[in-house]
């Protein structure tokens, strides 16, 4: 997003947490909150670390406003509430970029707060209505927004494939390094509960014992890997399951190429996992759970879908590993769709069109300094 806005000619100031690398992007300046003790390894979802980091980000945003004038705030997820403060105090309009409906995510993790669902949803609805435009990441969130604000300027902006074929990293040959046997089933992503890793392990344990295959899981914290390693051992599949930890996203194509099947066993949520677009682009067969998080992008013509139950997942996985021709056909169609609809040029065109309309609305017909013809 930042690269695309910079490419359009906008002067982008990107305010982020203290972790990560300093990337070089045209017309983009990165600002970090202070690196304080205890603020490393901020996990996905709600946490005390994230609350404190957001507080520091709020302070830093006001400091940035004092140092320079900004025409618009592009607020991602909970930072929309920081953007609302800047709007109220300095009359700076904002765009609300939603990767998820936050109240659903929060209440799924902190179930004791469910009686306050109405209050949390009200905050989100106010954030939408006060914005100059919204960018939901998927159809399910778009429909939710349209249910209470049909007139809002809106762009549904799905994620895109992250595969990069020009990696200069020497290939990590997984079979040679880890010595796995047979075909390789692969999962990539964090190991939070909603990702369905327990479901994946249970379904893998139900496969026909004569079917020679292994499971490799890329990503996750040391604590999560230890937890699921113990579970795999208890299920009797410890020797065939490999937890190899995080790997650089720039090398994702190299890893996906070595898999025979790619899986997304997610059990909760509405937003489509970013990895799905890379899975599709890889040309490898995909198995995913039949929940809205997946079905708003995937169907049976381009992927294998199964109920989020171990027995159904095992049957679908057995089918993919046994019927290579049908698996190959669906994988080919998935790649064609990814190249046509979920590629970088399509993504950039959508943003340019949305931002041109947005700036025309904000400037009320004034000549725009960064008008782009799309």
CA separation (Å) from 97 to 10, 102, 164, 212, 236?
Answer: 18, 12, 25, 44, 43
* Confidence band of 42 (pLDDT split at 50, 70, 90): confident
Percent of the chain residues topping a pLDDT of 90: 74
In this prediction, residue 250 carries a pLDDT of 87
Mean pLDDT of 87-112: 84
Give the distance, in angstroms, between the CA of residue 4 and the centroid of all CA atoms in the same chain.
18
Element holding 185 (H helix, E strand): strand 183-188
- Quote the pLDDT of residue 169: 65
pLDDT digits (tens, 9 = 90+) for 265-274: 999 888 899 9
Q: What is the pLDDT of residue 168?
A: 60
pLDDT (mean) for 41-53: 84
Average model confidence (pLDDT) for the chain? Answer: 90
Q: How confident is the model at residue 370 (pLDDT cuts 50, 70, 90)?
A: very low
The model's pLDDT over 137-175, given as tens digits with 9 standing for 90+, comes to: 999 999 999 999 999 999 999 999 989 766 666 779 999
**Mean pLDDT throughout 345-373?**
74
Q: For residues 13 and 30, what is the distance between their CA atoms, to the nearest angstrom? A: 6
On the question of pLDDT at 217 being above 60, the answer is yes
Per-position b or e across 301-312, b if 16+ CB within 10 A of its CB: ebbbbbebebeb
Predicted local confidence at residue 166, as pLDDT:
62
Ordered structural domains, the chain, with CATH: 2-159+343-362 (3.40.50.2000), 174-340 (3.40.50.2000)
Exposure class string for 187-197: b at 16+ Cβ within 10 A, else e: bbbbbbebbbb
What secondary structure letter does DSSP report for 342? Answer: S
Residue 369: pLDDT over 70: no
Asked whether the predicted pLDDT for residue 374 surpasses 50, the reply is no
Determine the pLDDT at residue 361.
Answer: 86
Choice among 45-54, 307-316, 336-345 with the minimum mean pLDDT: 45-54
pLDDT band at 313 (very low <50, low <70, confident <90, very high): very high
**In the predicted model, what is the mean pLDDT of residues 266-287?**
94
Residues 6+ apart with CB under 8 A from 34: 18, 56
- pLDDT score, position 372: 35
Distance separating alpha carbons of residues 290 and 287, to the nearest angstrom? 9
Average pLDDT over residues 266-294: 95
| pLDDT score for 368 | 38
Question: Which pLDDT score, from 0 to 100, does residue 20 have?
Answer: 86
pLDDT range class, residue 45, cuts 50, 70, 90: confident
pLDDT tens digits for range 234-267: 999 999 999 999 998 889 999 999 999 999 999 9
Helix (H) or strand (E) holding 85: helix 80-90
Average pLDDT over residues 183-200: 96
Return the pLDDT at 107. 67
Phi, psi of 73 (to 5 degrees): -115, 125
Please tell me the predicted confidence (pLDDT) of residue 26.
Answer: 93
- Is a pLDDT exceeding 90 seen at residue 96? yes
Residue 116 pLDDT > 90:
no
């Amino acid at each position: 997003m930042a690269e695309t806005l910079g490419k359009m000619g906008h002067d982008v100031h990107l305010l982020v947490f203290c972790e990560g690398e300093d990337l070089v992007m045209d017309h983009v300046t990165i600002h970090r909150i202070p690196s304080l003790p205890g603020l490393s390894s901020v996990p996905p979802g709600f946490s005390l670390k994230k609350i404190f980091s957001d507080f520091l980000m709020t302070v830093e945003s006001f400091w940035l406003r004092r140092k320079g004038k900004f025409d618009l705030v592009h607020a991602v997820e909970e930072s929309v509430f920081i953007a609302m403060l800047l709007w109220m105090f300095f009359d700076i309009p904002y765009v609300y970029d939603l990767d998820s409906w936050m109240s659903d995510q929060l209440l799924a993790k902190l179930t004791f707060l469910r009686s306050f669902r109405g209050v949390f949803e009200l905050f989100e609805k106010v954030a939408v209505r006060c914005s100059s435009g919204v960018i939901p990441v998927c159809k399910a969130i778009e429909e939710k927004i349209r249910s209470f604000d049909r007139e809002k300027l809106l762009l549904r902006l799905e994620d895109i494939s992250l595969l990069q074929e020009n990696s200069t990293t020497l290939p990590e040959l997984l079979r040679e390094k880890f010595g796995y046997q047979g075909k390789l089933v692969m999962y990539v992503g964090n190991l939070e509960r909603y990702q369905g890793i327990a479901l994946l392990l249970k379904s893998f344990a139900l496969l026909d014992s004569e079917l020679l295959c292994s499971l490799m899981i890329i990503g996750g914290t040391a604590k999560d890997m230890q937890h699921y390693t113990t579970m795999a051992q208890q299920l009797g599949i410890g020797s065939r399951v490999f937890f190899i930890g995080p790997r650089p996203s720039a090398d994702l194509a190299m890893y996906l190429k070595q898999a025979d099947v790619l899986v997304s066993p997610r059990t909760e949520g509405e937003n489509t996992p970013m990895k799905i677009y890379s899975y599709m682009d890889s040309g490898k067969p995909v198995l995913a759970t039949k929940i809205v998080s997946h079905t708003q992008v995937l169907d049976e013509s381009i992927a294998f879908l199964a109920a989020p139950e171990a027995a159904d997942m095992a049957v679908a996985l057995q089918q993919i590993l046994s019927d290579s021709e049908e698996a190959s056909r669906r994988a080919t169609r998935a790649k064609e769709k990814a190249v046509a609809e979920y590629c970088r040029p399509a993504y950039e065109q959508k943003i340019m069109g949305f931002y041109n309309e947005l700036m025309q609305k904000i400037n009320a017909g004034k000549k725009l300094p960064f008008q782009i013809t799309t």
